Structure 1
Amino acid sequence: MPPHPVPAREWEFAGARGAITARIWPHPDPRYVAVLAHGYGEHLGRYQHVADALVRHGAVVAGPDHLGHGRSAGERALVTDVDDLVADLDTVVASARGDHPDLPVVLVGHSMGGLVAARHAQLHGGALAALVLSGPVIGRWEVLGPLLAADAIPDTPIDVATLSRDPAVGEAYARDPLVWHGPFKRPTLEALVAGLARVAEGGAFGALPTLWLHGSDDALVPLEGTRQGIDAVRGDDLRERIYPGARHEVFNETHRDEVLADVTAFVDDVLGPPR
């Protein structure tokens, strides 16, 4: 595949609570499907370089902008039930499987998208060949309690330096009009608490090969809180890569090429080497 960016095609479908915009990055002769689930407050357009790497590796790539995010409908950054996002993600997975019924599906979820992907794996793991969780919000996320206990949720913008050691990442995030730059909404916090509890109680991933990626210096979703969640859901085949000094967005870190190479090597190990 050529090294230049692969253009995405957008499509829209009726989601659980409103119209969802999804993207597809095509491949002329794919050997697997990769489905991406982005994090809270952002959108799938920030994953162009991830999609490019996966397409070059042999994947057709797809994913939604979650409800209330990016180009999808809904009040901005409002999530009232994580399972709504899971249902919308499953629509994309089912569509990709319908278009490519003979291909295995690899699900990649980052941050809140990791929570959504983990829940999807618990509910629909039989549809997946492999799961990748990047800085996932599962387990113990201590920021939720103090925010919910506050009379008024503070309108404090995210410190963009917590995203990556590459300052260009934070600068682009701060300028991005499709990124939510406002405060958490109380129903969203309550939905995340309920979603964390569902995943904690939802059982292990069984035989599903799972790769967990995390930065050791992740101040947004601290490593040890997530480790509790990983221990609750880990199945028979869990691999982990903890990157020293890396911050929250490991796909946007200064060593992003290493991270993406770890993902593609994992996929090759699960699916077999490219043709």
Structure 2
Amino acid sequence: MRLRTADSIVLSADYYAGVSGGPSYLLGHGFTGSSRTPNVVRIAERLRELGGSVLVLNFRGHGASQGMSTIGVDEVADVEAGVGWLRAERPDVPVVTVGFSMGASIMIRYAGLGANPEAVVAVSGPGRWYERGTDPMRRLHFGVETRLGRLVLHRAFRTRVGGGWDVLPASPVELAASISAPLLVVHGDADPYFGVEHARMLAAAAARSELWIEPGLGHAENAMTDQLLERIHGWVRRTVGTSATMNP
């Protein structure tokens, strides 16, 4: 599929049509991921099997999408394009945004900036910017902030990095308090990128949050199990159902 954002970036996306009446999921991958990453495909297929319809974005600068990655700043326009498509395609069911790592920060920023998904799920997301306390994040900063690192990201991961971290936008934890929708924060206590304090600060800031600290869970898409996906889908069904009143 192709979607066009408000700032005229053409995004590629994959759609998994589910059963009539099930929730609509908008999935956002982590940095250097894509809609065709095997674990992202597995997650989308499992959510469809559970009864959801799933639209998986390639964020700008990733996969076959146009543009340059801003590491979570301008990507809120990508989410807006995806949510708009789902609302037009399936106007009578809730839209739930689900993000992993960078995708989690984008989904939180999108909802916190005044958007209206029926629910938000943030998995392995950062609460604050510029985390350098772990080896994986120090390597990520080298990739994003140096010419050599950006060349490696482009050649090895098809990830094109533009601006984004040269400015300081409002962080996820700053915007979490403005989210009106229910927020589920999922984080592993074995996450090598972000410690559990990130998840705790996000959940503490949001008005309607639930926090799951998962023993032994690693990071983002690669750590997701079918059992955890089933629990997340169950939370969505309990929280928004299939006959929930849609946000205007």
**Identity between Structure 1 and Structure 2 (%):** 24
Please state if 1:129 is matched with 2:93. Answer: no
- Cα distance, 1:74 vs structure 2: 2.8
Letter in 2 for 1:113: G
Query: Is the contact made by 2:105 and 2:125 (CA closer than 8 Å) also made in structure 1?
Result: yes
Q: Compare CA radii of gyration and give the structure with the larger one.
A: 1
Letter in 2 for 1:272: G
CA–CA distance in 2 between the matches of 1:181 and 1:259? 29
Structure 2: tracts of 5 or more residues without a match: 244-248
Instruction: Quote the residue 1:6 is aligned against.
Output: none
Instruction: Quote the residue 1:252 is aligned against.
Output: 222
Letter in 2 for 1:119: R
Identify if the C-alpha distance between structure 1 residues 181 and 61 changes in structure 2 by more than 3 Å, giving closer, same or farther.
closer
- Cα distance, 1:213 vs structure 2: 0.8
Letter in 2 for 1:53: R
- Cα distance, 1:189 vs structure 2: 3.2
User: Of the candidates 163, 168, 181, which is equivalent to residue 187 of structure 1?
Assistant: 163
Q: For CA contacts below 8 A with separation 6 or more, give which structure has more relative contact order.
A: 2
Q: Give the TM-score normalised by structure 2.
A: 0.79
Post-superposition Cα deviations, 1:208-259, rounded to whole Å, max 9, x if no partner, equal: 2111111101111222234334433x11x2112111122112x433x60221
Letter in 2 for 1:19: V
- Cα distance, 1:26 vs structure 2: 1.0
State the superposition RMSD in angstroms.
3.4
CA–CA distance in 2 between the matches of 1:109 and 1:154? 28
Instruction: Quote the residue 1:215 is aligned against.
Output: 188
CA–CA distance in 1 between the matches of 2:87 and 2:5? 18
Number of equivalent positions = 234
- Structure 1 ranges of 4+ moved more than 4 A: 144-148, 151-156
Structure 1: tracts of 5 or more residues without a match: 1-9, 159-176
CA–CA distance in 2 between the matches of 1:40 and 1:118? 15
Instruction: Quote the residue 1:142 is aligned against.
Output: 131
User: Of the candidates 68, 79, 99, which is equivalent to residue 89 of structure 2?
Assistant: 99
Identify if the C-alpha distance between structure 1 residues 104 and 189 changes in structure 2 by more than 3 Å, giving closer, same or farther.
same
